[in-house]
Structure 1
């Protein structure tokens, strides 16, 4: 199933797919959360992990979602 989905996006937007794959490999969610936990002062992970925020913002900045709201709605 994932192979078919990835193949479809590779044909339509190969640069976006490659950028996302590079970011996922370069910054794994566990590492992002660990960096947040190590460096936070007053912030806390209440409903969203910091890695989730990074993922949502990446989707918007790479043009895969039109807005943060759209990215969050599709994640649910």
Structure 2
């Protein structure tokens, strides 16, 4: 499987499930970056887009996406 990025606030309703999923991915050998933001709740990135914690959260997400799109992971088919 390709690397994963999971971002969650510690006030999110699915916080426990997201953390557990990230740990299970790692245990299965899937690279997974977990970003946990204190004080952030579900949809905070939509409701409080200018908050410093949300800006950092989005930057981490965008960086992970850029890395995934630019750097092929192991198991990719070779490009001819």
TM-score exceeds 0.5: no
Higher normalized strand content (fraction of residues): 2
Structure with the largest fraction of helix: 1
Greater length-normalized contact order (CA 8 Å, ≥ 6 residues apart): 2
